[in-house]
Structure 1
Amino acid sequence: MSNRRWNLGIVFLFILFACLLLSFLFSTLRIRELVQPLKSTGLGEESLHHVVLISQELDNPFWRYIEEGAREASEKYGMNLDYIGPFRINPAEQIKLLEKTIASKADAIVVQGINDPLYRTLIDKAALLGIPVITVDTDEPGSRRLSYVGTDNAEAGKRMGELVALAAGEKGSIGVLVGNEQAHNQQLRLSGFRSVISRYPELSIADVRSSNISRLQAAQEAEDILLSYPQVDYLVGFSALDGAGMLEAAERVRPQGVSIFAFDDLTETKEAIQRCRIVSTIVQQPYEMGYDAISLLHDHFNGKAPQQQHFTAVAVLDRQSFGNGTEDNCP
């Protein structure tokens, strides 16, 4: 009898142990089922490359277009993009932001070159830490940046020279504005422009002034050129706000007889072309700059070495570009 009770006790303990074991197994599987999605999500977030785009000026329309292109490419390639920059153009602030971004251990950085030794040192530091840096809009030559993405500025300057030479009949006097005398892209545009103008003995540059990327200063400098050099019949600007500034100056000093050539396609510039007050403007592709910069980073992360310079296209916008007969109403 005692053996039977002993056997029944063993069976009962076995059943109880089996039940506990099954319960533990089911609980473990359930917990794994609940945790796995969280675990997968966490791993996915960690695998996303964190890219920081540092703009020249946060709400500048040109840089917002760069951001738009970069953001679309980031979504396509599964990257996290942060867009930062100074509220007003401030190279010192750009340097600080680059320094902070490197310290934050971003996976990649997209910046504008500012032709500054400390800036180049920071770009080199990022490269040594394994953080690829791509310059957009303006290159930072001499640095260890991965690639430059933007306009071929020397060729854009040559294109401007050809437009002016054609309009001037290869003779005349020209006043020129650059956005910033220290900016590499502005100097390349001016150099390309000079190389074309120098081909024509009767075509000359009277003066070159800096607008400091300010419409107000562009107007002041253009007005002073027109007053100081009455022979100037052509005004050329190489930064986005120069066109509107030159137009303002021309309307104050000499409403007729000044031909204006601008850069970029701000609304005021396009409207002035339609009103026959600006002859033409050279238009860059900021959206493509942002998109292509992220695409090159994607290639880099996948083991493909990008080209050192990746040029985006430019186009000439003039009265005929609007296709509404505007050119027929111009003198």
Structure 2
Amino acid sequence: MSNRKWNIGIIVLFIIFACLLLSFLFSTMRIRGLLQPILSDSVSPGSSLHVVLISQELDNPYWRSIEQGAREASREYGMQLEYVGPFRINPNEQIKLLEKAIAAKADAVLLQGINDPRYRALIDKAVGIGIPVITVDTDEPDTRRLTYVGTDNLEAGKLMGELVAKAAGNGGSIAVLLGNELAPNQQLRLSGFRSVIQRHPNLSIVDVRSSNISRLQAAGVAEDILINSPKVRFMVGFSALDGIGALEASERVRPQELNIFAFDDLDETIEGIREGKIESTIIQQPYEIGFDAVSQLNDYLNGKTLPKQHFTAATVLDRSKISTGSEDNNR
């Protein structure tokens, strides 16, 4: 009798164990199914080419557009894209992320130039050990990077100069806001702008200030300029937050006497143009920058010689284009 009870007990335990095992297997399969869409976009050991994109600021809309383009091209070419960056603009963090990518033996790196000798040395180190590097948005021309993909910032500055010169008519004083006065792309835009304005004796640049890529600082700097330089008729912003910062300042200080020219296509910038408060803005193509950077990398891996620079388009958006519904939606 005792043996029979023992056998029954073993059978019951076996059934319980089998049920638990089946439950565990079903749960594992369900979790795997839920995670599959995420895993398909992440880097896994033994997967195809591992490409690291190091952004200037992780959740910046402009950089998210670059990521979207790069991710789409990565899927097309069978690569795995890893998107990283500091939560707030921090060049030292970008340097650390490049060091990490090199240590992890990434197959390729896409990054923004930051004009730092430590960064340039790391780019050369990466290329020297067989990790291709492509710069996006801002170049590092004095390195071994393969190519630069992004806006021709010198020409964008010239384009801005032509817009202001055309609007100026009888001339006037101009103030300029830069996102970061040390950033090479900002300096190139300013240089191109100056080269056009210098051809017009009736125009003069009376002030150049940095907003430190902050809307609050852009508004504060613009307000200070308007108070202390009451003859300024034109204000130009060369980074995305400068135009709307200048608009805030003008509405507080001088709403009817300032012509604002902006850069990039934030929703508030477009709304300012629609309302006639901002004259126009120069729009970059961040999605194309990301897509083309990965495409250039694919060309290189297939034995093609890359150009030193691969420029993407920069276009002008003004009220006439918004009113006809032809504004650019690539943001």
What TM-score bracket applies, with the shorter chain setting the length? 0.7 to 0.9
Structure 1 equivalent of residue 79 of structure 2: 79
Q: Give distance in 2, aligned partners of 1:268 and 1:140.
A: 31
Helix, strand or coil at the partner of 1:115: coil
- 8 Å CA contact 2:47–2:80 kept in 1: the answer is no
> Partner amino acid for 1:146?
L
Q: Residues 179-190 of structure 1 correspond to what in structure 2 (within 5 A)?
A: 179-190=179-190
Structure 2 equivalent of residue 296 of structure 1: 296
Helix, strand or coil at the partner of 2:270: helix
> Partner amino acid for 1:239?
S
Q: Give distance in 1, aligned partners of 2:185 and 2:225.
A: 23
Structure 2 equivalent of residue 125 of structure 1: 125
> Partner amino acid for 2:239?
S
Structure 1 equivalent of residue 26 of structure 2: none
Shift of 1:305: 1.6
Shift of 1:253: 0.6
Structure 1 equivalent of residue 140 of structure 2: 140
Q: Give distance in 1, aligned partners of 2:220 and 2:111.
A: 30
- 8 Å CA contact 1:170–1:200 kept in 2: the answer is no
Q: Give distance in 2, aligned partners of 1:88 and 1:200.
A: 39
Q: Give distance in 2, aligned partners of 1:102 and 1:233.
A: 49
Q: Give distance in 2, aligned partners of 1:117 and 1:45.
A: 32
Structure 1 equivalent of residue 317 of structure 2: 317
TM-score by length of 1: 0.84
Shift of 1:117: 0.4
**2:149 matched to 1:149?**
yes
Could you list the per-position Cα deviations for residues 96-154 of structure 1 after superposition, in whole angstroms to 9, with x for gaps in the alignment? 00010011000000000000000000000001011010000000121111110000000
Q: Give distance in 2, aligned partners of 1:51 and 1:319.
A: 40
Q: Give distance in 2, aligned partners of 1:45 and 1:181.
A: 41
Structure 2 equivalent of residue 229 of structure 1: 229
Q: Give distance in 1, aligned partners of 2:186 and 2:170.
A: 23
Q: Give distance in 1, aligned partners of 2:304 and 2:148.
A: 16
Give the total of aligned pairs. Answer: 282
- 8 Å CA contact 1:283–1:316 kept in 2: the answer is yes
Structure 1 equivalent of residue 178 of structure 2: 178
Taking a change above 3 Å as real, the CA distance of residues 305 and 46 of structure 1, as seen in their structure-2 partners, is farther
TM-score by length of 2: 0.84
Q: Residues 170-319 of structure 1 correspond to what in structure 2 (within 5 A)?
A: 171-319=171-319
Structure 1, 168-177 or 256-265: larger mean CA deviation: 168-177
Q: Give distance in 2, aligned partners of 1:115 and 1:303.
A: 29
Could you list the per-position Cα deviations for residues 149-199 of structure 1 after superposition, in whole angstroms to 9, with x for gaps in the alignment? 000000000000000000001510001001101100000000000000000
Structure 2 equivalent of residue 97 of structure 1: 97
> Partner amino acid for 1:100?
K
Shift of 1:48: 1.4
Q: Give distance in 2, aligned partners of 1:169 and 1:93.
A: 46
> Partner amino acid for 1:175?
A
Q: Any runs of at least 4 consecutive aligned residues in structure 1 with deviations exceeding 4 A, and if so which?
A: none
Q: Give distance in 1, aligned partners of 2:244 and 2:102.
A: 37
Seq. identity, %? 71
Q: Give distance in 2, aligned partners of 1:324 and 1:303.
A: 44
Shift of 1:312: 0.1
Q: Give distance in 2, aligned partners of 1:98 and 1:187.
A: 24
> Partner amino acid for 1:176?
V
> Partner amino acid for 1:258?
L
Q: Give distance in 1, aligned partners of 2:153 and 2:170.
A: 22
Structure 1 residue runs without a partner (length 5+): 1-43, 326-331
Structure 1 equivalent of residue 116 of structure 2: 116
- 8 Å CA contact 1:237–1:261 kept in 2: the answer is yes
Q: Give distance in 2, aligned partners of 1:173 and 1:47.
A: 57
- 8 Å CA contact 1:296–1:306 kept in 2: the answer is yes
Structure 1 equivalent of residue 63 of structure 2: 63
Could you list the per-position Cα deviations for residues 45-76 of structure 1 after superposition, in whole angstroms to 9, with x for gaps in the alignment? 74611100000000000000000000000000
Q: Give distance in 2, aligned partners of 1:99 and 1:47.
A: 22
